[in-house]
Amino acid sequence: MLPGTIGLVMATEAVKLLLDVGEPLIGRLIMYDALSMKFRELKVNRDKNCPICGEEPRITELISDYVEFCELDHSEPLATAAD
């Protein structure tokens, strides 16, 4: 039931953004307590130094090479769940 409740909220947000109606949750975070059936809203301040949405963004396109982006050493094999 919990994934359904959160999924419904997420779908509602997507529709509001696509149709440009209502008040989207931009700058706000919703916390849901399923046991007490309560929603709580928190304000989230924008980080001026954010590499994506800050005042001087450094990431301006989709990441295509995560290994390079994360500056991983190509000489060492990546760890797996079996390791």
Q: Which amino acid is present at 5?
A: T
Q: Are 30 and 9 in contact (CB under 8 A)?
A: yes
pLDDT band at 43 (very low <50, low <70, confident <90, very high): very high
Q: Which amino acid is present at 69?
A: F
Angstrom CA distances, 71 to 50, 53, 58, 65, 83, stand at: 19, 21, 16, 10, 21
**pLDDT above 90 (res 64):** no
The tens digit of pLDDT for each residue in 11-21 reads 999 999 999 99
Q: Are 39 and 31 in contact (CB under 8 A)?
A: yes
**pLDDT above 60 (res 83):** no
- Is this prediction's pTM over 0.85? no
**pLDDT above 80 (res 8):** yes
